[in-house]
């Protein structure tokens, strides 16, 4: 995720680097024609002022970006993979939810069995109570009037009903727990995705900060060389003895910038200007 202040500061610094390099080339080329040195020197000083402002802005933006990057990079101890941890927690929550759902299905089967037992006990009780009140039926079955069949059926029906109530409470708790585990799994998956996005944004911010640091270094180097040449030219203007020292310094600048910037139009023009001066190779 790009930081607009840093990207704008990098663009300004890159533009300032180009302007400083152009001013350096112009000043170097003017050394061969002394009447053009004064305006070239004024342009170089103006370029230095603009470069200093761009350098300060980029440095401030880079410090802020690095501070924000350091804050984002404190997500956990070294070696810890937050995304993997969240995905593992999500998988554990899913497994717990699946186990609870299996228990919920067993609860339903038990409730169906108890409901059938209670219904059978009530049916037998309703059927047997009037029959056992008849003397002929008791004599046929060989039971006495004090037979405990109906109370036993009533007790069985009450026990089944009590177990049904307990299983109903358990079913509600299990359903709530399943919902909670599903919610936790969803939350952990979201956190894993957010962590992955944060890691990607951190990598992009790191790359941007690295590029900004390189841009700052290039600007400082080019600005430093221009400042040295401006100081040398100003000193030689005061003594009016030519620009031998400036030409020698320019040769060193050409070598340094050729190494730092490589082949580009500004460095090639600077090299040609250095060769055109008296004593240039």
Q: Mean pLDDT, consecutive 10-residue segments, the chain of 281 residues?
A: 69 89 86 83 90 88 76 52 77 86 88 85 70 55 55 80 86 87 86 78 78 85 87 81 79 77 69 69 51
Residues 6+ apart with CB under 8 A from 47: 16, 19, 20, 22, 23, 226
Predicted confidence at residue 147, as pLDDT, reads: 53
Predicted confidence at residue 127, as pLDDT, reads: 65
Residue 223 burial class via C-beta count within 10 angstroms: exposed 0-12, middle 13-18, buried 19 and up: buried
Residues 6+ apart with CB under 8 A from 154: 121, 125
Predicted confidence at residue 169, as pLDDT, reads: 87
Predicted confidence at residue 1, as pLDDT, reads: 41
Element (H, E) at 104: helix 82-132
Predicted confidence at residue 182, as pLDDT, reads: 86
Phi first, then psi, for residue 31 (nearest 5°) are: -65, -25
Q: How far is CA 61 from CA 6, 135, 200, 225, in A?
A: 5, 105, 21, 24
Element (H, E) at 50: helix 37-72
Predicted confidence at residue 146, as pLDDT, reads: 47
CB atoms within 10 A of CB 153: 20
Predicted confidence at residue 242, as pLDDT, reads: 73
Predicted confidence at residue 208, as pLDDT, reads: 81
Q: How many helices (H) and strands (E) does the chain have?
A: 7, 0
Structure tokens at 50: 């603009």
């Amino acid at each position: 995720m790009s930081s607009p202040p840093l990207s704008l500061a990098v663009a300004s610094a890159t533009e300032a680097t180009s302007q400083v390099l152009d001013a350096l080339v112009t000043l170097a080329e003017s050394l061969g024609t002394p009447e053009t040195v004064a305006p070239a020197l004024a342009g170089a000083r103006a370029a230095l002022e603009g470069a200093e402002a761009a350098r300060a802005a980029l440095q401030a933006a880079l410090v802020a970006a690095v501070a924000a990057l350091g804050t984002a990079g404190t997500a956990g101890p070294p070696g810890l993979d937050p995304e993997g941890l969240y995905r593992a927690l999500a998988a554990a929550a899913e497994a717990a939810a699946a186990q609870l759902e299996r228990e919920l299905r067993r609860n339903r089967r038990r409730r169906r069995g108890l409901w059938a037992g209670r219904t059978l006990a009530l049916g037998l009780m309703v059927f047997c109570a009037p029959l056992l009140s008849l003397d002929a039926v008791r004599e046929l079955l060989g039971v006495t009037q004090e037979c405990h069949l109906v109370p036993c059926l009533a007790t069985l029906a009450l026990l089944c009903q009590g177990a049904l109530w307990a299983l109903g409470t358990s079913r509600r708790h299990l359903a709530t727990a399943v919902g909670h585990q599903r919610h936790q799994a969803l939350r952990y998956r979201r956190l894993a995705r957010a962590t992955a996005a944060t890691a990607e944004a951190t990598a992009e911010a790191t790359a941007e900060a690295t590029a900004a640091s390189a841009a700052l270094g290039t600007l400082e180097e080019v600005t430093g060389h221009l400042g040295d040449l401006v100081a040398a030219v100003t000193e030689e203007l005061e003594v009016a003895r030519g620009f031998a020292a400036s030409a020698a310094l320019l040769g060193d600048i050409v070598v340094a910038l050729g190494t730092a910037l490589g082949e580009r139009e500004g460095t090639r023009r600077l090299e040609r200007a250095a060769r055109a001066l008296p004593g240039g190779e």
